[in-house]
A = this chain, B = another copy of it.
Amino acid sequence: MMILGLVRWMQPVHGYDVRRELLSWSADKWANVQPGSIYHALRKLTEEGLLREVATEQVGARPARVTYGITSKGEDEFQGLLRGHWWNLGEVVDPFFAAFSFLPALPRDEASAALRNRARLLRAVNDSLRAAMESGWMKDDKPVHVGWMWQLSIARAEGEIGWCERIADLIDAGVPYLPEDYAEEPAWAQFGTLVAEATWHGGPTPDRPSPDQSSPDQPSSNQSSPDQPSPERSSREQPSPTVDGERT
């Protein structure tokens, strides 16, 4: 619940304000907050004691609007959540991952074309982000860190562009999808291994390292993972190094 964060910023607000703000920067896209959920969220947060109702104004015969503020308990919770997201890697969802896992379902030439197209799209987006950052409109009245967020988008996309083209080349080159001996058998046993892809950022749920400290744990010379990635273990217990079950 990052609605809480918003209420904290905008202090006394009513639902519609939150909704406007959220929609204004189309947060329904990159967060997952649809306008319909807002009132429910506000009420839920209130009943959890994280928010409190500050006032109930009424203008004319319009629906009365309730304004909310944050409680100190809410402030704590917010700090906690915030730290959690700053210090740990979160689950990213990207549907393209899911789609890519069905690679063998596409004809080779389409796959590589799509990848090259993806690279084009990413470049176009990057260009327009860069253009937007140059063009004064955010030079003076927008906080700097908005630009920084765009740069993150750009940086990630740049990595991805290279990948798209490398992989497209591989596909064009006819690199086989399956390690020879695979014949026909369980054609779908394919992913199975995606496991690790997600397993990695498992770790022992390291929430909130220490809410007010600067360098929370290791002395900066330490390069091995703080508490979670343990870079040497590589492949832990795989569910089964074999093809795991695989009935008919």
Contact B146 A27, beta carbon cutoff 8 Å:
no
* A184 CB-CB contact with B under 8 Å: no
Contact A25 B192, beta carbon cutoff 8 Å:
yes
Interface positions, chain A 172-220, Cβ under 8 Å from B, are: 175-179, 181-182, 187-188, 190-201, 209, 211-216, 218, 220
Chain B nearest CB from A206 CB (Å) reads 10
Contact A124 B231, beta carbon cutoff 8 Å:
yes
Q: How many A residues are at the interface, by size bracket?
A: 35 or more
Contact A197 B149, beta carbon cutoff 8 Å:
yes
Name A10's contact: one of B10, B20, B176, B244 (CB within 8 Å): B244
Chain B residue nearest to A206 in the complex (CB): B121
Tell me, in angstroms, the Cα distance from A158 to B156 when the chains sit together.
8
Contact B110 A214, beta carbon cutoff 8 Å:
yes
Contact B137 A235, beta carbon cutoff 8 Å:
yes
Contact B188 A9, beta carbon cutoff 8 Å:
yes
Contact B234 A137, beta carbon cutoff 8 Å:
yes
Contact A102 B5, beta carbon cutoff 8 Å:
yes
B residues near A228, Cβ cutoff 8 Å: 121, 124, 128
B residues near A176, Cβ cutoff 8 Å: 144
